[in-house]
């Protein structure tokens, strides 16, 4: 496969990896299981159990497991047509997916700040005009 196609595949496959990893580790729909995992991480004495449950609370850690699943499904390799191609694809996929999640997190935080600032300005305007 030409290098440009491989890069396009990498950028595209990283989208669902990032989406799944972010959703499981941050979004409301998985809040209860995530809180359970956080509770186990904080209370268990077993190192293996603590690390296993931690992976469901960390988008970086979880993206490794999702990347493995997507590499198995897609059989995507990067640069080489053997195990080295899978290895490069694996780490590249994790890296790109985490860039996507970082960008999404930054944009989401910026939107929250703008929303709060707009609400504060609206409240200040209401106070100045005497509206309730």
- pLDDT one-digit tens code per residue, 77-105: 999 999 999 999 999 999 999 999 999 98
Predicted pLDDT at 42: 86
Mean pLDDT of the chain: 91
Residues 46-84 pLDDT 10s = 899 988 888 888 889 999 999 999 999 999 999 999 999
Rounded CA-CA distance 61/27 in Å is 16
Identify which of 31-35, 42-46, 55-59 has the greatest average pLDDT: 31-35
Count other Cβ atoms within 10 Å, centred on residue 123: 10
pLDDT at 131: 63
Q: What is the pLDDT of residue 123?
A: 82
Q: Is residue 132 predicted with pLDDT exceeding 70?
A: no
Give alpha helix (H) positions in 1-132: 3-26, 31-43, 47-54, 59-74, 83-129
Supply the pTM of this predicted model.
0.77
d(CA 100, CA 112): 18
Rounded distance between C-alpha atoms, residue 24 and residue 30, angstroms:
6
Q: Say whether pLDDT at 1 is over 60.
A: yes
């Amino acid at each position: 496969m030409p290098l440009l196609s491989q890069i396009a595949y990498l950028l595209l496959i990283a989208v669902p990896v990032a989406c799944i990893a972010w959703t499981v580790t941050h979004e409301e729909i998985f809040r209860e299981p995530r809180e359970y995992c956080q509770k186990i991480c904080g209370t268990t004495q077993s190192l293996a159990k603590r690390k296993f449950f931690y992976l469901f609370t960390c988008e970086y850690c979880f993206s490794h497991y999702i990347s493995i699943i997507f590499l198995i499904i897609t059989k995507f390799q990067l640069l080489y047509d053997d195990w080295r191609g899978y290895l490069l694809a694996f780490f590249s996929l994790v890296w790109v997916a985490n860039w996507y999640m970082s960008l999404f997190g930054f944009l989401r935080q910026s939107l929250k700040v703008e929303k709060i600032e707009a609400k504060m300005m609206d409240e200040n305007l209401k106070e100045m005009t005497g509206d309730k």
